[in-house]
Structure 1
Amino acid sequence: MWSPIYKLFSTPKLITFACLVIVAYLLPYYILGEDTHIRVHDNLDSNIVWYKLLVESGQLFSPATLPNVINGLPRSTLATPFDAMVWFYVLFEPMTAYTIGQTIMRLVAFIGMYMLLRNRIGTPFISVGAALGFALLPFWPSGLLSIAGLPLALHVFLNIREHGKKTKKYNWLVLILLPFFSNFILTFIFFLGLMGVFWLIDWIRLKKSNWAFFIAITSMTVLYLAKNYLLIYSMFFNKGFTSHRTENDLGHNDLAETLELFLHNFINGHTHDMAVHTKIIIPVIGVAILVAAYRNLRPKLLLGLFIFNALISLWYAFWYWEGWRVLKDQIMILNTFNFSRIHFLDPVVWYICFALALWVLWKHLRFGKMLVVALIITQCVLVFNLNEENKYSRIGTPTFAEFYSENLFDSIKKYIGKDQSEYRVVSIAMHPTIAQYNGFYTLDTYNNSFPLKYKHKFRKIIAPELEKNATLENYFDTWGGRLYMYVSELGKHYMFTKNSDEELENLNINSEALSNLGGDYVLSALPILNNEENGLKFERSFENAKSPWKIYLYKVVA
């Protein structure tokens, strides 16, 4: 009965079909270009601009500062020059670089997961289907292969662990290349730590050292450390730079909130590492475990990985538990480094579990093959529909071109009429990276790290607004990565289009502190009705048909 279907869905045909699906997923970027809707959070509002500013600064290899941001943003707070994504921005326009990144991410995710599952599952349809579902996940865009490349990395390390010196050379080539396409701090520090644990267990259990496996782990670690030389320099040798992260005060959840966070992350995942596993994958794993129990099977790997993901979510939740404060207040690295990020390994583990569970249904359930086909198709449809153009056009966020609105900001530049290096601006009710993208020198920003002294100076400007809103005050003081012109009545909302009927009636900023820091102009996406009380002179408003924004320009006269 199944032989004609096996011929129809042969492995080469399955792989070809999967690649065509990936091409369809990527088509909006190639067809629409800058008119594509893409993610705003930790993307348009940050990373894309960081790459652009770095490339335009000419400071790729230098430890100097970038004058465009906060009167001198340390170079070490931006990407390493040995990051492949940086060179995409060197060679191409930002949206083209972004599209190349998306393409590499999807293809490597598919190839890596397929190769990982191919010889370990034994069923081509499941291997290709699970790999396709993984490749279509809404990965954090600037992570490149930080998550998407983990299956390939795991495949390579398992090969080296198994074959030692006889491992095929392509595995070592992949091991050398991956660090330049991925982030050590985000995921691979945890991945390599786990590989180290495997090596240690093997050494203790087998009483034998697998030196090829050990060399693979240490080699990749050394490559990452060399790649991130600027970060290491700033941490251990640049005594003049104290990061704002030293004052991080995160993690005050009580036990009930901690358990709630655990359940939320385990069931729904995190915005940066969504596995889209709630509707299909978790129920499939549950059914597979019941079928295995009924058939007297022992799916140890499936159960082990399922429990591992539960433990990862538990660790993530407890990282923000108030009980940790005792240690975090005493040990600096526990404040400045986010050890909970091991949860970025979640998607890989979920899709391996998905493939293992599908194999149980395929082999041990009546009509299991038909069910598996239906489940894989359903899961792939779910993740395909989360492609950026579909998701964000439906939500209604701006396209790439609309978000940065270059023509609109060109008209503001011309009106001011001075070289942009001669004055400083801040933004209200909008992300400051929009102004940065358009060449303005900004006193506000969003960055992973910046000087603590500057944070204290900037706080004086927004102190009156923070005093009116305990949530904003806590957000800024305990983290502060978003160095924004917060407004109490707007809360943590930073996008207001020209169709908004919001008006700022009770703004209260310290304009003297703004002037002392070098502030000359305020760009506001909303009208400030009490501008004169804040030492601001209204100049004029700017809008055009192609931009979603209406910008109100105010001159600081305090």
Structure 2
Amino acid sequence: MLYIIVLFCVWHYIYKYNRKNILLVLYLLVMCMLISIWYGFWLNIWSVISFLFPHFPYFDLSRFYMLQPLLWYLILGVVFYILWNQTNLFFSIVGRLSAITLFILQVHHLFNVSHNNQESITQKPSYAEFFSKDLFNDIDTFIDRKKSEYRVVSIGLHPSIAAFNGFFTLDGYSANYPLEYKKKFREIIAGELVHSEAYRNYFDNWGSRYYIFVSELETFHGNALLMTKKVVKKYSARIKDLKFNVRKFSSMGGEYVFSALEVENAEKIGLNILKKFNHKYSSWEIFLYQVSKDNKYKQLTMGDS
């Protein structure tokens, strides 16, 4: 009860002299709450809209939740301003000490917890571990060719990693690319899509992610594209029977496969293992495969002219 009385007195004093700022904080909190509710019920809302207007184009309006970090930092900034600008001597000292303490804690969270210890806390790679520049520099040095001379795909990791490191990828994530290219790429993974209804629907009915989907990795759910060294070691993961159309891959200019786990039937489908790459500060262990010479067909790929 004493705490409630003290908090009420503090609130009454601060509200009396900072009414506009307090109301601004409340408005921002209400916006955060409404966005959270909207995000939580968006699929239900869209199902009603699509039922009433079946030809209405799809818009993912749930992504308003991306405004949440901005709103929370605005709230933090206003709270800092309120704490720092108290006229009463006692509240001024307490407010400024509180503001400084909160600021130090926030900086500690951003630059220590959120970066250096990212993988140990969230079980996900940090930015540097994810893109692994040193590891892919080793791969580039080993291949020892101009990157524009060949194309690559990735298995068990996002193709954006290879693209970030300067490799020319056949796979990727794009909201707008030629339908003809999607049809060609589908032939590479058609065997895997037959064995996974989820991946087939995901690719055929959407398709912005044109990845090398592997039905055997479907059980890993979110980790199917984050097969880090820790995940692979924990589950002794490997691909036993990859259904990969090497001839179609070659016809599109593909030559190398970056796989985050071993492909046991690689030789049988026309892929030769060249080397396994590892690096102390990388989350990945990359198996580098190359198309067997008998399967190599050089043709232009999307973007070449």
TM range (shorter): 0.5 to 0.7
Question: Aligned partners of 1:462 and 1:554: how far apart in 2?
Answer: 17
1:350 corresponds to which residue? 72
Is the alpha carbon distance of 1:384 and 1:354 closer, same or farther for their aligned partners in structure 2, counting shifts above 3 Å? closer
1:484 aligns with 2:206: no
Aligned to 1:409: 139
In structure 1, C-alpha distance between the alignment counterparts of 2:14 and 2:117, rounded to whole Å:
44
| Displacement after TM superposition at 1:426 (Å) | 1.2
What is the aligned-residue identity percentage? 33
Structure 1 residue 403, shift from structure 2 partner? 0.8
Q: Which residue of 2 aligns with 1:434?
A: 161
Instruction: Please say if residues 525 and 550 of structure 1, whose CA atoms lie closer than 8 Å, have aligned partners that are also in contact.
Output: yes
- 1:541 matched to 2:271? The reply is no
Conserved? CA contact 1:525–1:551, under 8 Å: yes
Correspondence for 1:112: none
Q: 1:290 to 1:319 in 2, by over 3 A?
A: farther
State TM-score, norm by structure 2.
0.66
CA offsets 1:341-399 (integer angstroms, 9 cap, x no match)? 44344344434444556739986999644553454344323421233565233133366
Q: Aligned in 2, Cα 1:478/1:389: closer, same or farther, shift over 3 Å?
A: farther
Q: Give the corresponding residue for 1:119.
A: none
What whole-Å deviation, never above 9, does each CA across 1:452-480 have from its counterpart, x for those lacking one? 33233323322333444444444444544
Matches within 5 A, 1:353-368: 353-354=75-76, 359=82, 368=91
- Aligned AA (1:330): H
Equivalent of 1:458 in 166, 185, 189: 185
Which letter maps to 1:511?
Answer: V
- Secondary structure of 1:490's counterpart equals helix
Deviation per residue, 1:390-429 (Å, 9 max, x gap): 5233133366387122431223322xxx544343221112
Q: Map 1:75-114; keep pairs closer than 5 Å.
A: none
Residue 509 (str. 1) matches residue 273 (str. 2) = no
Alignment of 1:61-460 (within 5 A): 291-292=11-12, 300-321=23-44, 322-326=47-51, 329-332=54-57, 335=58, 337-354=59-76, 359=82, 368-369=91-92, 371-388=94-111, 390-396=113-119, 397=125, 400=128, 403-404=132-133, 405-414=135-144, 419-460=146-187
Q: CA contact under 8 A between 2:83 and 2:92: conserved in structure 1?
A: no
Residue of structure 1 in register with 2:288 after alignment: 553
Equivalent-residue separation in structure 1 for 2:184 and 2:194 (angstroms) = 16
Report Cα offsets for 1:184-216 as digits up to 9, x if no partner.
xxxxxxxxxxxxxxxxxxxxxxxxxxxxxxxxx
Deviation, structure 1 residue 538: 1.8
Query: Higher strand fraction: Structure 1 or Structure 2?
Result: 2
SS for the counterpart of 1:385 is helix
After superposition, the C-alpha distances for 1:518-545 in whole angstroms (9 at most, x for unaligned) are: 3333221211012244x23323214255
Mapped partners of 2:185, 2:173: distance in 1: 13
**Aligned partner letter, 2:260:** A
- Pick aligned residue for 1:518 from 253, 266, 280: 253
Structure-2 change in CA distance of 1:422 and 1:357 (3 Å): closer
Question: Cα gap change, 1:351/1:451 in structure 2, threshold over 3 Å: closer, same or farther?
Answer: same
Query: Which shows bigger deviation, 358-367 or 404-413?
Result: 358-367
Q: 2-side partners of 1:553 and 1:400: how far apart?
A: 21
Equivalent residues, number: 265
Give the counterpart letter for 1:529 in structure 2: E
In the aligned structure 1, how far is the partner of 2:76 from the partner of 2:8? 10
RMSD across aligned positions (CA)? 4.0
Deviations 1:287-319 (A, max 9, x none): 789935998879544433332332233333444
Contact 2:83–2:95, Cα closer than 8 Å, also in 1: no
Contact 2:172 2:211 in 1 (8 A): yes
| Cα displacement (A) at 1:503 | 1.6
Task: Give the residue type in structure 2 aligned to 1:552.
Answer: F
Counterparts in 2 of 1:301 and 1:288: CA distance versus 1, 3 Å: farther
Residues 228 and 260, structure 2, Cα contact 8 Å, conserved in 1:
yes
Higher relative contact order (CA 8 A, sep 6+): 1
TM-score, reference length from structure 1: 0.40
Q: Give distance in 2, aligned partners of 1:365 and 1:460.
A: 73
Q: Matches of 2:186 and 2:10 in 1, distance apart?
A: 56
Partners of 2:159 and 2:169 within 8 A in 1: yes
